[in-house]
Structure 1
Amino acid sequence: MRAPIGHFDTAVPAPDCLDELTRPVADAVRHWSGSVPADRIVWVDTDPQWADTAVFVEHYGRELLEQSANCVVVAGRRGGETTLAGCVVLSTTRVDVNGVVRRQLGVRKASFAAMDTAVGETGMEYGGITPIGLPAAWPVLVDSRLVDLPWVLVGSGRRRGKLLVPGKAFAELPGAVVLEGLGM
């Protein structure tokens, strides 16, 4: 199979390579439901040495810069309670943690979750966290610009490999809330 975007040597429908994914991501692909069929989610092999965005797009295709997304874990606090959420934005933007995220979660304070919390709670590798397979109870905040893209490159749960996902699939993830201005 040829990757729909980018220049990757290996591209495989995600349901055909579950061993390449972390358990939560593989489970999410295995139990996928929505208007986008699971086999339209494509796993591509990438070398972790090219992980830095500038180097990545030079190696795998400049067009990926405008079609890549980052998923970060945010912790919101209010009255001793902590709420964790996934936030997915274009890689050319940053998450509006103190504005959009704080208001959406209804918390007094929001910040990026500590690395050990993000990794421990998601079951994914740091630097490879993806919205596909996040804990079911979490809200998944999605920048509205992503859902209109034909394809979005996002983490696969591991540092090695990425997923190519039709943009509209992000709006159908469990707990998904599509927000204007999430990425600024």
Structure 2
Amino acid sequence: MSDFPAHPTPPFGRFDAVSPALERPDLTPPAVTGALRDWKHRTAAESVLYVDTDPEKADTAVFSEVYDVPLEVGANCVVVAAKRGQEQVLVACVVLATTRLDVNRTVRKRLGARKASFASMDTAVAETGMEYGGITPIGLPAHWPLLIDEAVAATPYVLIGSGRRRGKLILPGAALAELPGAEVVPGLALPVPAEPAPQDPPVR
């Protein structure tokens, strides 16, 4: 069993309030609180920090500047709806914020689905019991597949949602691979295409 020592202070960022997530069950939704409490991998659970953040500063660029968090340590939990025959399957995918989820190829093929697309906001919120913009891989429905990009698992510490728009969680990327039902999937995420360089106006 891997060892994930508790980090007494955040490994990155500037936050006004920081605490071990297990010590503040009042700050996360019941599903997240319960998942942390019941996580059999105790050192993974104990490594999770809760940091207080303003939901009004959740935009990626603003958040990075305000809290001094590098963009490459942010990890997004994306809910995908896949159709297999007449059945719809919901799956959670975790990718770095600097990448984009490969829904149409990797996710669809991994699930053996004929079609896969991002789940609607209403579906994601209703099925997870979490707030939109704060959905986290900790505390998802037990029957959901949980796919984690290999780059996330390889990142020493990542910042993820807390289940609410206020606050975030920080933990070792490898700890996410220890969540129940989690699977590390190579190629789950693709690089975000670079914006083309501005062109000089034509000479007339």
TM-score, normalised on structure 2? 0.87
The answer to whether residue 59 in structure 2 is matched with residue 52 in structure 1 is yes
Corresponding residue pairs, total: 183
Distance verdict in 2 for CA 1:137–1:28, change over 3 Å: same
Partner of 1:146: 152
Partner of 1:27: 34
The answer to whether residue 92 in structure 2 is matched with residue 92 in structure 1 is no
Mind listing any 5+ residue stretches in structure 1 that lack a counterpart?
none
| Shift in Å, 1:35 | 6.3
Identity %: 58
SS at match of 2:180: coil
| Shift in Å, 1:62 | 4.3
CA–CA distance in 2 between the matches of 1:62 and 1:176?
26
Deviates more, 1:47-56 or 1:172-181: 172-181
SS at match of 1:136: coil
Amino acid at match of 1:136: A
Amino acid at match of 1:104: R
Mind listing any 5+ residue stretches in structure 2 that lack a counterpart?
1-7, 191-204
The structure number with the bigger radius of gyration is: 2
Q: Does the 8 A contact of 1:36 with 1:166 survive in 2?
A: no
| Shift in Å, 1:5 | 1.5
Q: CA RMSD in A?
A: 1.1
In terms of fraction of residues, the more helix-rich structure is 1
SS at match of 2:143: coil
SS at match of 1:146: helix
Q: CA-to-partner distance for each residue in 1:71-125, whole Å, 9 max, x for gaps?
A: 0110000211011000000001111000110011110000011111100000000
TM-score, normalised on structure 1? 0.96
CA–CA distance in 2 between the matches of 1:80 and 1:37?
37
CA–CA distance in 1 between the matches of 2:137 and 2:80?
12
Amino acid at match of 2:182: A
The answer to whether residue 88 in structure 2 is matched with residue 82 in structure 1 is yes
The answer to whether residue 49 in structure 2 is matched with residue 42 in structure 1 is yes
SS at match of 1:173: coil
SS at match of 2:90: strand
